[in-house]
Structure 1
């Protein structure tokens, strides 16, 4: 596909799909600006090239209705502060008033459209809605990796009606790092997979068996694998309907000579609460009415050994309920190990990135992907609709 630097931009109207669906507190203050900051290089380049920039994004789940709490006004104001120039907010994202606001833009100016999801046609990939968005622009730029797995109007539909289309610098960077870590990795390639459910990552696990050299499985999803091997896991979270699937996946890995590492000990608790009674036990000794909520220190030592010779590490999902201090040590320890390694390290998913940020190691990870669902679908071996639409 074309890159942004291949296109003459001066004086052109450039519609940029970003993902500024950022978390905000009750007062309307942005609490995590990563999604905005990672797109700044694209926006600054467009403005330097004297393009007329039109930003479009969604916020929350207004379900096709105009809901005031999902207005992009705070986001426009915050973006203006980061860019050091005004970012006015249009009253809508389509219509005569919006078209007039776009026409009044001068070279090197920027406008933000109001929430795309105020219109139900956005998520339905409606052709007429797509055409109206495209009519605002000469060039379309997708720099919203986090929604590129969605076949929405602003991601896919719009590309059929614009003269020129390309990826922004963030989207380009996301795909380059994924290619380096999964399609053409330096080996050994070690995958770390955690989180709550096997079901949510089953396709990714199956696809990774064709690519990785070793795999570490932790988090609540490890309980399903442990139980499939005959271990009693107390009241730990388990997907009983996937026990056979988990066992089959371990068997397939063995046949392919891919080593899968499960916890050898856990931090068990009598209940899921910050003040729960906790103790370290081996996986053979989880008490009947207790639950495993983090990997234990012996597992950390084991997993560190697995990572010692890794040249590429891909991480999706925490090792425990890291939101509570009592169950955060396993994830934090692994974050420090990955950060200190000499491997190319790529992480994806909101929980993984939140945990790494909490550990203070964000600057020492090679790349933290901005997309959760999109990153996971790439791990599943799927082609993202938003990427395909740019080809």
Structure 2
């Protein structure tokens, strides 16, 4: 996987996909950790003589321009951390964005509005994503991906856009990939993993692969109920993927065969409804 160290970026515009999905309350950033984590890549690109167009998402606006999910507070905080003005056109695409990108000088940064304001970003229709990616590609000469929290998404700015520009990984993605290589190829023993998430369907390949490498596996999150159902336990109306129960039974059998200790939660709280004020029964 190529990083951007070898790229000649003097006078070039770089489209940088970041993970700036910070917690906001009443327009105030409660934790700027993800912004700070993006700074090394941003500074390195500037040091190489580039200008930067940054794209990121915030929450799940589902294709609507929701003011409470605007990246305006992020632009302000990023400017404070870098000690420079951040150009913020307030749109994802359009004439104002195009003009802002074309006018960028080396060392300048333009932050686009929440990329998920465009429904095409997360569309399941390849053609819709491709159209957005083509518009975004016009803004820059190179693409650098540094939003590790989104790299698994088949989204326009993550999956389709890198196909249209010379591309490389940022520092965050490169570092995470190195960690994953170690954990999947030459982990220290004993080796334990904790997996969570709502759906088993998102994790089947990961679980199956890791069962050949780990000594202990702990399953949590919503997907635990599919495991409990596979063991024949009652789960009421809890989240479950019933069509995957046979697959999960196979995973449980694979764990036993490989001598992997498979742990499921034993302290599940039961309530009549899924709500904050539901009484425990």
The answer, yes or no, to whether TM exceeds 0.5 is: yes
The answer to whether structure 1 residue 250 and structure 2 residue 252 are counterparts is yes
RMSD (Å) for aligned C-alpha atoms: 3.1
| Gaps in structure 2 of 5+ consecutive residues | none
Shift of 1:85: 1.3
CA contact (8 A) 1:223 1:233 kept: no
| Greater Cα shift, 216-225 or 169-178 | 216-225
- 1:135 corresponds in structure 2 to 138
Shift of 1:77: 0.5
Give aligned pairs, total.
Answer: 274
CA contact (8 A) 2:14 2:141 kept: yes
- 1:286 corresponds in structure 2 to none
Shift of 1:39: 1.0
SS of residue in 2 equivalent to 1:39? helix
The answer to whether structure 1 residue 87 and structure 2 residue 86 are counterparts is yes
- 2:18 corresponds in structure 1 to 18
Shift of 1:251: 2.1
Distance change in 2, residues 1:11/1:220 (3 Å) = closer
Q: 1:155 aligns with which of 158, 165, 170?
A: 158
SS of residue in 2 equivalent to 1:191? strand
1:323-354 Cα distance to aligned partner (Å, 9 max, x none): xxxxxxxxxxxxxxxxxxxxxxxxxxxxxxxx
Shift of 1:243: 5.6
Counting only pairs closer than 5 Å after superposition, residues 211-290 of structure 1 correspond to structure 2 as 211-218=213-220, 222=224, 225=227, 228-229=230-231, 237=238, 239=240, 241=242, 245-262=247-264, 266=267, 290=281
Distance change in 2, residues 1:150/1:226 (3 Å) = closer
CA contact (8 A) 2:229 2:235 kept: no
1:122-172 Cα distance to aligned partner (Å, 9 max, x none): 33453332222111111111111222122222122222332x211111111
| Gaps in structure 1 of 5+ consecutive residues | 278-289, 291-391
CA contact (8 A) 1:70 1:115 kept: yes
Distance change in 2, residues 1:83/1:189 (3 Å) = same
SS of residue in 1 equivalent to 2:158? coil
